[in-house]
């Protein structure tokens, strides 16, 4: 058995809904590059998920290319990983239909994100919005992924994928691997800089609440200077200090210093100094990403070469899975 075949498989996808936030980066994307050393990695820009809410077609195409360039800029090497655009591989949608027949209506109705998005988009509660967790399960199970790097808020969807896989295995015999979550110990959930009890989101109406990974240094520092903290003056990590806890988590993640060491370093300094230090550390950490992104996004031919090759690899892997699934459920062989 070759070294590659002995490696566990990781799958992860991200929606092309504009520039990634610092939360996307810390919670998931920054971990993707190092994983290539140890695992067989498959990464996708999941544009099919994006259309569960209304999209401007021109902007969706633009955002999809930008997202693809960004994951490469964040460390994904297309010669070491399978990196592709989801809609370029029709096997995801085909498998999703079969898996939907092993998914219970009640399971989908309990999905927190369906409830949240239904409230936000009350004029367009479409069937895709309801069933897209099945497509997410198909994304993962098509590759029999062992691990899925996810933020803490995606655990419910991964649990559904495990349930659907288990139910399929019970009906038709063991086939699908039950995927496990890969959640970083630190920084799995980055909170809003303005409402630190809420997750950082690019859709936040307050532009100071969210740091985008392509923000310039001055913008990043300005946003951190305006970060909400508390009425105390002690820099420490404890319950009730959501703003400072969030800043400590971010600073620890980008500097790789322990929380205890950071608290010690800033023991005689005020919140203002600390917020500037966090902003500078984040900006410096993201500088290589911004530089590499500008280089990649200006080379459309190279991007196309990479995502075309990635899709070919993804189709080859998933067609084998889908053919076996079709045989198991009783479909007549096409050839």
CA angle, residues 94, 100, 106, in degrees to nearest 5: 160
Q: How confident is the model at residue 185 (pLDDT cuts 50, 70, 90)?
A: low
Q: Minimum mean pLDDT among 79-88, 129-138, 182-191, 304-313: which range?
A: 182-191
Cα dist from 250 to 127, 235, 256, whole Å: 37, 14, 10
**Residues designated catalytic:** 117, 199, 202
CB contact at 8 A, 60 and 27: no
Q: How confident is the model at residue 6 (pLDDT cuts 50, 70, 90)?
A: confident
CB contact at 8 A, 235 and 269: yes
pLDDT in tens, 186-226: 556 799 999 999 999 888 889 999 999 999 999 999 999 99
Q: Where are the alpha helices (DSSP H) in 51-154?
A: 57-73, 91-100, 105-109, 112-120, 127-141
Q: Chain-centre distance of CA 112, in angstroms?
A: 17
Residue 30 is predicted with a pLDDT of 85
Mean pLDDT, the chain, whole residue set: 92
Cα dist from 102 to 86, 99, 176, whole Å: 22, 5, 13
CA angle, residues 122, 124, 129, in degrees to nearest 5: 100
pLDDT in tens, 134-162: 999 999 999 999 999 876 667 888 999 99
Question: Is residue 4's pLDDT more than 70?
Answer: no
């Amino acid at each position: 058995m070759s070294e590659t075949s002995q490696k566990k498989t990781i799958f992860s996808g991200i929606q092309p809904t504009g520039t990634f936030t610092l939360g996307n980066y810390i919670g998931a994307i920054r971990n993707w590059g190092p994983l290539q050393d140890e695992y067989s990695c498959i990464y996708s820009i999941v544009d099919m998920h994006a259309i569960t809410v209304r999209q401007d077609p021109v902007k969706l195409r633009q955002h999809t290319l930008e997202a693809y360039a960004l994951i490469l800029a964040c460390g994904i090497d297309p010669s070491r990983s399978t990196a592709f655009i989801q809609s370029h591989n029709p096997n995801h949608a085909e498998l999703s239909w079969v898996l939907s027949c092993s998914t219970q209506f009640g399971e989908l109705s309990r999905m927190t994100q369906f409830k949240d998005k239904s409230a936000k988009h009350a004029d367009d509660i479409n069937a895709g919005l309801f069933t897209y967790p099945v497509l997410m399960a198909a994304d993962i199970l098509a590759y029999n992924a062992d691990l899925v790097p996810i933020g803490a808020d995606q655990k419910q969807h991964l649990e559904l994928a495990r349930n659907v896989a288990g139910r399929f295995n019970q009906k038709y015999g063991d086939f699908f691997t039950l995927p496990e979550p890969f959640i970083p110990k630190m920084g799995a959930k980055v909170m809003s800089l303005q409402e630190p009890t809420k997750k950082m989101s690019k859709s936040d109406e307050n532009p100071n609440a969210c740091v985008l990974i392509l923000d310039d240094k001055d913008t990043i520092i300005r946003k951190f200077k305006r970060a909400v903290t508390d009425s105390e003056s002690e820099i420490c990590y404890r319950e009730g200090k959501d703003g400072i806890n969030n800043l400590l988590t971010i600073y620890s993640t980008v500097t790789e210093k322990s929380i205890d060491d950071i608290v010690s370093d800033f023991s005689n300094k005020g919140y203002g100094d600390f917020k500037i230090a966090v902003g500078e550390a984040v900006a410096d950490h993201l500088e290589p990403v911004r530089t590499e992104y500008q280089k990649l996004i200006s080379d459309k031919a190279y991007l196309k070469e990479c995502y075309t090759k990635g899709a070919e690899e993804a189709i080859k892997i998933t067609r084998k899975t889908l053919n076996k699934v079709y045989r198991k459920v009783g479909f007549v062989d096409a050839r």
